[in-house]
Amino acid sequence: MAAITLYTCLCGVQKKTSNHWVLAKVSDNGITFMPWDAELARRGDIVVLCGEGCAASMLSRSLGDWKKPAVGVTSVGSITDISAEYELAVA
């Protein structure tokens, strides 16, 4: 009996026969996008995306995360000023 694997995008869409789906992998060092691969898509560390739109929104979210001030990292110059303002704005 063949197992049927359901792939669901972050937006809730389930993969059917369309083949424009892509994969993404988020690590401590950044985010990687890659072409669809049914075997890779089963892995727990792989994010399944239904197309360019969802890939773009995931990239945009990651970029937003990267803007957060890093703890324990010494910043110099204007970057220090920006993160100081950011913390004040959030607090």
- Return residues touching Zn ion (CB under 5 A): 9, 11, 13, 50, 54
For the CB of residue 54, give the shortest distance to Zn ion in the complex, in Å. Answer: 3
Q: How far apart are CA 54 and CA 18, in angstroms?
A: 15
Q: How far apart are CA 19 and CA 72, in angstroms?
A: 43
Choice between 10 and 69, CB closer to Zn ion: 10
Output 11 or 82, the one with its CB closest to Zn ion.
11
Q: How far apart are CA 49 and CA 86, in angstroms?
A: 31
**Least Cβ distance, residue 9 to Zn ion (angstroms):** 3
